[in-house]
Amino acid sequence: MDRTSNCKLCRYNSHLRYPTADDILEFPLVQGISAESASSAASSSNVLSVLSDAVFKTWVNPQDGSLWFAAGLEVLAFETLDVRAVAVIEIDPYVSLGLFADAVCSLPPAEPRNLCFVYVELGISCRVDIKHGLFSVEGKLSPNSFVLHPSCHLLGGFAMYYWFDPSPYAGDFVFSVSIT
């Protein structure tokens, strides 16, 4: 592991809309984590500057009695895998958990990106909704992904859902993979 950075954020009397795997690249809490952030304070200010934008109202809405915490992390491993992730805990009064990540792998590591043989960018959304009894993990390849040449796009994704009490579907699950 070459580099890690983290940030923390807390908001009360507001509700955070969790992103789907399609929304990860636009999710401001993931966007706010950047390689240029050397310290925790710098990372937090990056996230807040992204949240203070007009995009803020798309993701965060006022809600009395709701409280959420977010902590972000960026990891660069082996100079080929770069993961920006955010863990969220929301209490309103039920607890829900979320883990949202943008994972990029480039082989060999090269700038500009079109010099890579393989460039894969995967948006991952993982949620646990205790009130409704749902655990879900979704992943989707971004349109930026390619093999051999930037015009040879990779498309696909996966989803796994599991229901537990108090859901009427407790014990059921589904797993699906799509590659095109």
Confidence of residue 48 (pLDDT cuts 50, 70, 90): low
Q: What are the φ and ψ backbone dihedral angles of 46, each rounded to 5 degrees?
A: -60, -45
How far apart, in whole angstroms, are the C-alpha atoms of residue 154 and residue 121? 10
Instruction: State mean pLDDT over 152-166.
Output: 91
Please enumerate in sequence order all residues whose Cβ is within 8 A of that of 58, keeping only pairs 6 or more positions apart, or say none.
17
Please check the confidence at residue 146 and state whether its pLDDT lies above 70.
yes
* Nearest Cα to Cα of residue 105 among 67, 139, 129: 139
pLDDT at site 39: 44
What is the token pair recorded at 94? Answer: 């039920």
**CA trace torsion 21, 86, 134, 67 (10° rounding):** -130
Please check the confidence at residue 50 and state whether its pLDDT lies above 60.
no
User: Worst-scoring range by mean pLDDT, 3-17, 94-108, 157-171?
Assistant: 3-17
pLDDT at site 172: 94
What is the token pair recorded at 20? Answer: 């789907």
Q: Other C-beta atoms within 10 Å of 44: how many?
A: 17
Domain carrying residue 91: 3-179
Please check the confidence at residue 5 and state whether its pLDDT lies above 50.
no
Give residue 59's identity as a one-letter amino acid code: W
pLDDT at site 47: 55
Question: Would you give the DSSP letter of residue 23?
Answer: G
Is 0.85 topped by the overall pTM? Answer: no
Confidence of residue 169 (pLDDT cuts 50, 70, 90): very high
What is the token pair recorded at 79? Answer: 């100079």
Number of domains in the chain: 1
* Residue where the block lists tokens 């010099």: 115
Percent of the chain topping pLDDT 90: 25
First to last CA, the chain: 32
